[in-house]
Amino acid sequence: MPMDFLLRIEEAQFPLAVLEEADINCAAVLAAANFIDANLPVPGSGSKPPAVILRITPQGRAELNRLRKQCT
């Protein structure tokens, strides 16, 4: 799930290369929601370059805080 992925990368050092297809898909969803800034591979390009996550945006950080409050 994209939100689980966001929680997983919360403390990562950026830029972060993402190689697994499922994680790249999560990154694409998070980028579309403006929760991360990322360079994503072009779909259907044939090769499988990594996605590179540049940062978690302020909106992404706010969502992480909201998730934490929801879990308490």
User: Does the pLDDT at position 2 exceed 80?
Assistant: yes
Structural domain boundaries enclosing 6? 2-71
- 17-67, pLDDT tens digit by residue? 999 999 999 999 999 999 999 999 987 766 778 999 999 999 999 999 999
Q: In which element (H, E) is residue 51 found?
A: strand 51-56
**Residue 29, Cβ neighbours under 10 Å: how many?**
15
Integer Cα distance of 72 and 46 in angstroms: 44
- Beginning with the edge strand found earlier in the chain, give each strand of the sheet holding 36-39 in spatial order: 16-18, 51-56, 36-39
Q: How many domains does the chain have?
A: 1
Copy the structure tokens of residue 68. 């934490």
Q: What value does the mean pLDDT take over residues 7-21?
A: 96
CA 68 to chain centre: 17
Copy the structure tokens of residue 57. 């945006």
Choice among 11-15, 17-21, 66-70 with the minimum mean pLDDT: 66-70
